[in-house]
Amino acid sequence: MLLQDALGTALDYEYRVRDHYAEAARKAKDSTAQRVFAILAREEQGHVEYLEARLDEWKTTGMVNPAELKSVLPSLDLVQAAEDAARLTPKGPAASKEELDYLKEALELERVTSGFYQDLVAQLEPEHRSLFERFLEIEEGHVTIVQAEIDAIVGHGHWFDFMEFRLEQ
């Protein structure tokens, strides 16, 4: 795949995920859900801006500088450390069905996007792979975070794919 095509396709994925989170933030009734969706939309907007800048650079100079791609979300190490320090109580049915549906759709979008970046990194010329490797890492983190939110809401006893149990049950 040519780099310009890779950048354009990556932008399409990022627009789709960003727009999903922005819509979910607007429509969510729960303030926590609104905040979570807004943070994720802002994260995806950062991806869009990064990719647009790289594409402009490519079109202008024929070269791309793989600048640092930052994340507004905590690293997976920090998330897992927090999980080790304190078990979360499932939220139960407090979230609306609509908010849960947005999360489920977000999970699918994140999985598809993560798969796209995985394939892209494998297919690109070695000199362009570093441009997308960080995206792969971040998108895999998004999958984990969205899955954890779903698990906490439905309360089926999992947190970050680890079974929770309570002695009092």
Alpha-carbon gap, residue 72 to 55, rounded angstroms: 22
Range in 109-118, 128-137, 160-169 the model is least confident about? 160-169
- For the question of whether the overall pTM of this predicted structure is more than 0.95, the answer is no
Domain boundaries, the chain: 3-162
Distances (CA, A) of 45 to 40, 50, 89, 165: 9, 9, 31, 38
Q: How far, in whole angstroms, is CA 166 from its chain's centroid?
A: 30
CB-CB neighbours of 55 under 10 Å: 18
pLDDT digits (tens, 9 = 90+) for 8-52: 999 999 999 999 999 999 998 888 888 889 989 999 999 999 999
Q: In the CATH hierarchy, which top-level class contains the domain 3-162?
A: mainly alpha
